[in-house]
Amino acid sequence: MRIIAGERKGLPLKSVPGESTRPTTDKVKEAIFNMIGPYFDGGLGLDLYAGSGSLGIEALSRGLSKVIFVDRDLKAVQTIKFNLKRSQYASSAEVYRNDAKAALRALKKRNLKFSYIFLDPPYNRNSIKNEIESIYHYQLLETDGKVIAEHSSKQELPETIEKLEKQKFEIYGNTAISIYAFKEE
């Protein structure tokens, strides 16, 4: 696993030890950033179910100003901190050990708005629709922001969740990518 593009291109990243996380493959990561970027001019990101932090760190390398990383697994949080230090992005990040639901509530209280929100829960958890609903109701997404959901290709997500519309959808083997943004008026 490595950073694919941007200012830290080629830098290897550590995976979370054990079987508790499923790392995003380089092919899927490249596809995600081709669909939403590929580069950014600042902005705030949220990497929910961050695992190793690979998606958020890739976003920092490609120009996001700051990323908040959330994972409930202690080994994942330790790995994210290690990878942020290795990539020299620790000062552009916040890392929290929390579950997704509680993290979204806490972020609401801070009145933050995100440019990009990455959702990559375990494939056996069908929580993406509920989390996108919370993101919408808590007003966590900028008006031109995007929610990027990585999920099982067997899981079908709705075309519309609240006022967020699925704008792009791709399948890569057993992984699917669904990208949501506000409906264009």
- Kindly report the CATH number assigned to the domain that includes residue 160: 3.40.50.150
Give the predicted TM-score (pTM) of the model: 0.95
Confidence of residue 185 (pLDDT cuts 50, 70, 90): low
User: What phi and psi, each to the nearest 5 degrees, are found at residue 73?
Assistant: -90, 125
Among candidates 172, 170, 176, which has minimal Cα distance to 151? 176
Q: What's the mean pLDDT when you consider all of the chain?
A: 94
13 within domain boundaries: no
Residue 24, pLDDT above cutoff 90:
no
Q: Is residue 112 part of a domain?
A: no
3-state helix, strand, coil in the chain (%, to 5): 30, 30, 40
Tell me if 16 is assigned to some domain.
no
Number of structural domains found in the chain: 1
Count other Cβ atoms within 10 Å, centred on residue 167: 17
Residue 77 burial (C-beta neighbours within 10 Å; 0-12, 13-18, 19+) = buried
- Structure confidence at residue 20 (pLDDT): 66
Range of the domain at 149: 26-107+121-173
